[in-house]
Chain A
Amino acid sequence: MTAVSDSALPQRDDQFFEELYAEHFDFLVAVAARKFRVPECDAEALAHEVFLSYLRKSHEVLNIHSWMLGAICNASRYYWRQNGRMVEPLDDDKAFERPDPTTTRILDSLPDQLAAREALEGLMLRDQEILKMRYFEGCSIIEIGQRLGVKAKYAQKLLTKVLRRAERNYRRKGKQR
């Protein structure tokens, strides 16, 4: 949470804004690109938009670091929500001409993939949600804790347990095949 010591608003002049941009821009790009796998050029546009959106709030934001970080994480997730489904439709003829390299040896990996899917589907909804947060949305342990309303330490324990459960399910399904 916002520390009390941050409660004094900084003097906002040209130098302040310039330093803010210079110090944080690359960091925000890094968070979007590394943590959320946003393509780097889009990550830059997102980071820039975060700075611009901060300007209307600059008189209210007490903890700039926290605000910027929250804004880029939120923006990155929104980016994937908006762009995740916007995949160009597949042209069937071209697909036959140039098969997807990831599917050329699919028969070798398919049983494993199916076993993995079944293993995940065999988990409780909350467990699935935890894995989705961690490995799909890229949430940190702290963020998972916040979303679940538990402490980070407990969130870490939950994640470890869920992984073990998934692994057990996977082995069982694998053996059945």
Chain B
Amino acid sequence: MTDHPDDLLHIASCRTCRDRFTADNVVNLEADRHREPERMREFLETARRLEREREGVQDVVARLLRTTPPAEWSSLAASPELQSSAAVEQLIEEIRHRAERKPGEALTLANVATSIAEALPAATYPPVVLAQLRATAWKERAHALRYLGRTDHALASIEKAEERLNAFAAAGFDRAVVELTKARILHETGRTDEAYGLMRECRRVFVEHGDAHMLLCTGIMEGISLYDDGRISDAEGVFRDSMEVARNTQDRESQARIENNLGYCATHSGDFRRANVHFSNGIAIFNDLGSHAEATRAERGAGRVLVAKGQISAGLAYLQKARRAFADSGMAEDAVLCGVEIIEVLIQRGDNVPASELANQVSEEVAAAGLGERAIAAFARLQESLTEGRADAALRVHDVHEYLKSLQQPASM
């Protein structure tokens, strides 16, 4: 044996120790291994096939989606070019890109992906590979349904994914990925204990597989869920653990997100100095990484939460910075929305003159951005209220805010 009798990970990665461990622990290695060449052949053939199918599939799927009107995407389930594992994998990528902004489209594609995956003949791939593919397609369908608010259907879809994997002991990693989506849905439906139980189990599986990326996803998700449930100190603990993982693996993007989340936690705990440090760290890392849009969103988030907690000056500073950055990068809608949020704060503070000036400016931006007649009319009413010093200005700005926000909502089915 080795000097590390209990460290299987060391044995797994060190060839000498691995060979010694294997020789010490498996009796009759050479005997009764009639099936081994067949297994090796199956493994290599599957590996070759999957790699071959992946070549060029991205272009094929992109072309089909481009040339087929979205209303007819359902017909793609019968497309001969998409009858492979790689095509389903690529469709799944497309679903992931759309899930948040266009969940309706994502659901249509998820239906196509599940249809194809379920229809692939059993002999095409080894059963476990086929099960993984089907389970992932069902899981993505659940994800799209979740974004559409159809949680019952989403849970039914998740159950399908679980069923596909049940028979395969080695699909533990895939099972955990499916359970993570389930945990998110359960949390949203108020079944928080079950959700946290699943998240803990997922975390254990990802640690066991040494997958820092999924571990971080789980940690951040758990932290956000705890934060949403008002368990701020628990959330902070989870974020701190995750930060350790992100630092060890030099995952800078996750570090930025966690810093931002720690900023939210500190704000809720009333430690505004610490919150400011975390927010600044997060924004600086996003900027270092060149993710300027993310940095600006983080600034806006910091501004909102600080204002909500009564730290008006600090919050306004973040919001104004975010508004400038949105405008500079041509994100007119976001710049306008940020402007409205600032006007709201100014009115609440009784600063009607600067609020009116900003409303004028934002109104022009609304017209230039082509956000619609309704928005322009709403701004005109707001300016009228502000100029006349009417008490309904706060209500008016709230209406404008809600209306502009509704323009940003993803399109529903």
List the interface of chain A (C-beta within 8 A of B): 1-2, 4, 7, 12, 14, 17-18, 21-27, 29-31, 33-35, 40-41, 44, 46, 48-53, 55-58, 60-63, 65-76, 78-79, 82, 140-143, 146-147
Tell me the residues in window 15-62 of chain B with beta carbons closer than 8 Å to chain A beta carbons: 15, 18, 21-22, 25-26, 28-29, 32-33, 35-36, 39-40, 42-44, 46-48, 50-51
Question: Does B245 sit within 8 A of A, measured CB to CB?
Answer: yes
Assess whether B8 is in contact with A1, with CB atoms less than 8 Å apart. no
Q: Known contacts being A27-B21, A34-B25, is A70 close to B208, with CB within 8 Å?
A: yes
The stretch that binds A, out of B128-136, B227-235, B261-269, is B128-136
Assess whether A53 is in contact with B168, with CB atoms less than 8 Å apart. yes
Q: Which residues of A contact B72 (CB under 8 A)?
A: none
Assess whether A1 is in contact with B249, with CB atoms less than 8 Å apart. yes
Of all chain A residues, which has the CB nearest B29? A26
Given A53-B128, A56-B89, 10 new contacts (CB under 8 A) = A1-B207, A24-B12, A25-B39, A40-B28, A48-B42, A49-B128, A67-B173, A70-B210, A141-B6, A146-B207
Q: Which residues of A contact B204 (CB under 8 A)?
A: 146-147
Of all chain B residues, which has the CB nearest A61? B211
Question: Does B7 sit within 8 A of A, measured CB to CB?
Answer: yes
List the interface of chain B (C-beta within 8 A of A): 6-9, 11-13, 15, 18, 21-22, 25-26, 28-29, 32-33, 35-36, 39-40, 42-44, 46-48, 50-51, 85, 89, 126, 128-129, 132-133, 168-174, 204-205, 207-213, 215, 245, 248-250
Assess whether B35 is in contact with A2, with CB atoms less than 8 Å apart. no
Bound CA–CA A21/B21 (angstroms): 17
Q: Known contacts being A4-B249, A66-B9, is A21 close to B174, with CB within 8 Å?
A: no
B324 to chain A, nearest CB (A): 36
Assess whether B208 is in contact with A74, with CB atoms less than 8 Å apart. yes
Bound CA–CA A18/B205 (angstroms): 27
Bound CA–CA A18/B39 (angstroms): 11
Contact of A140 among B8, B13, B209, B250 (CB under 8 A): B8
Assess whether B209 is in contact with A70, with CB atoms less than 8 Å apart. yes
Assess whether B210 is in contact with A67, with CB atoms less than 8 Å apart. yes
Bound CA–CA A51/B132 (angstroms): 13
20 A-B interface contacts by CB (under 8 A): A1-B212, A1-B245, A17-B44, A18-B44, A22-B40, A24-B12, A26-B29, A27-B12, A27-B22, A29-B22, A33-B26, A40-B26, A41-B32, A46-B170, A49-B169, A53-B128, A55-B46, A56-B50, A66-B13, A70-B205
Assess whether A75 is in contact with B169, with CB atoms less than 8 Å apart. yes
Assess whether A53 is in contact with B170, with CB atoms less than 8 Å apart. yes
Q: Which residues of A contact B39 (CB under 8 A)?
A: 25, 44, 48
A47 to chain B, nearest CB (A): 8
Assess whether B249 is in contact with A2, with CB atoms less than 8 Å apart. yes
Bound CA–CA A174/B9 (angstroms): 40
- What are the 7 tightest A-B residue pairs by CB atom distance, in nearest-first order? A66-B210, A70-B209, A74-B172, A49-B170, A70-B208, A65-B13, A34-B25
Assess whether A30 is in contact with B21, with CB atoms less than 8 Å apart. yes
Of all chain B residues, which has the CB nearest A79? B169
Assess whether B210 is in contact with A1, with CB atoms less than 8 Å apart. yes
Q: Which residues of B contact A51 (CB under 8 A)?
A: 43
Of all chain B residues, which has the CB nearest A51? B43
Assess whether A52 is in contact with B133, with CB atoms less than 8 Å apart. no
Of the candidates B22, B207, B210, the one having the most CB atoms from chain A within 10 angstroms of its own CB is: B210
Contact of B168 among A35, A49, A70 (CB under 8 A): A49
Contact of A44 among B18, B35, B171 (CB under 8 A): B35
Q: Which residues of A contact B46 (CB under 8 A)?
A: 52, 55
Assess whether B26 is in contact with A30, with CB atoms less than 8 Å apart. yes
A42 to chain B, nearest CB (A): 9
Bound CA–CA A115/B128 (angstroms): 45
Assess whether A78 is in contact with B169, with CB atoms less than 8 Å apart. yes
B253 to chain A, nearest CB (A): 14
Bound CA–CA A1/B28 (angstroms): 33
Assess whether B43 is in contact with A52, with CB atoms less than 8 Å apart. yes
Q: Known contacts being A65-B9, A75-B169, is A2 close to B211, with CB within 8 Å?
A: yes
Assess whether A46 is in contact with B169, with CB atoms less than 8 Å apart. yes
Contact of A66 among B6, B42, B47, B209 (CB under 8 A): B209
Contact of B18 among A23, A63, A142 (CB under 8 A): A23
